[in-house]
Amino acid sequence: MIVLKQVSKTYDTGQAAVCDVSLQVPTGKLLVLLGGSGSGKTTTLKMINRLVEPTSGRIEVDGRDVLSVDRVQLRRGIGYVLQGCGLFPHMSVADNIAVVPRLLNWSAERIEKRIDELLHLVHLPPAEFRSRMPRQLSGGQQQRVGFARALAAGPKVMLLDEPFGALDPLTRDELRNEFLQIRRQLGLTAVMVTHDMTEALLSADLIAVMNAGRLLRLGTPHDLLRHPGDDFVAALLSSPKRQADQLETLFAGRPNGGLS
């Protein structure tokens, strides 16, 4: 479980990026942090693994205050995936996946076995992809390797910062579905950042809507669709609803999504 208790972040300039956010992510569930640019969602995500230090409040991962854990050890136990995957360009696919296991002093045999397991898991045949360099991969393949690297040490918690944002729509949808299947298969507790309402609704067990550093609404996709509870949340929801209505009208044979 991940718990945030009255967490805030204020920078030296006096700018408040996150204000008094409290929420819980139950074990094995996916929370999506949703909001526009500057809403505080990425800062909130990065405070969980201490890439950003909170100014006040308490963050717990599996019952431990993250500030009581060495930050390097903390990050090695939490998978982290970012937009564009962040692979080391001078390292092969296998070497990218092996980074954390080597830091943990795993045996060479164990590392090699783990690389093959993970490449199979993300649908990249090891014989074909082990020795490839990142520049030899498509965007979707690079992101698959990014997922494999994040899973290399067997974390139970994963953080994802707009992991599908740089991909074309078809690849984005395919990879999102694959990730959700892997997450359920491994029982991962996850927090994902997105600004895409449709992606949030189709992915999340829980959605936390943020604006100007504050948590406006926390609930299941069904809860938010039925009871937005806030004008900003209602505005976010209006776009996928409107698009769904327009598509339904098109399927019924009316032109221009029913706008004409």
**pLDDT one-digit tens code per residue, 62-73:** 999 999 999 999
Give residue 125's pLDDT. Answer: 96
What DSSP designation does 245 have? H
Query: Has residue 165 got a pLDDT over 80?
Result: no
Find the mean pLDDT for residues 15-27: 95
Q: DSSP label at 171?
A: H
Q: Which of 152, 156, 77 is nearest to 114 (CA)?
A: 152
Q: Model confidence over 99-134: pLDDT tens digits? A: 999 999 999 999 999 999 999 999 999 999 999 999
* pLDDT tier, 177 (very low <50, low <70, confident <90, very high otherwise): very high
- Mean pLDDT over all residues of the chain? 91
Residue in this structure with the two tokens 């776009």, named with its chain if needed: 239
- The pLDDT, as a whole number, for residue 98 is 96
Q: How confident is the model at residue 260 (pLDDT cuts 50, 70, 90)?
A: very low
Give tens-digit pLDDT for 217-226. 999 999 999 9
Region 233-260: what's the mean pLDDT? 75
Share of the chain above pLDDT 90, in %: 70
- Cβ distance 200 to 207 under 8 Å? yes
Mean pLDDT on 207-236 = 92
118 SS3 class: helix
Percent of the chain with pLDDT over 70: 97
Residue 238 pLDDT > 50: yes
Q: What is the pTM of this model?
A: 0.89
Q: What is the pLDDT of residue 256?
A: 62
- Give the pLDDT mean for 81-92: 86
Using alpha carbons, select from 182, 199, 198, 178 the residue that is nearest to residue 190: 182
**pLDDT bracket for residue 33 (50, 70, 90):** very high
**Strand partners of residue 190:** 30, 158
Beta strands in the chain (DSSP E): 2-10, 16-25, 30-34, 56-61, 64-65, 78-82, 157-161, 189-194, 206-211, 214-219
76's CB contacts (< 8 A; 6+ apart) are 100, 103, 104, 153
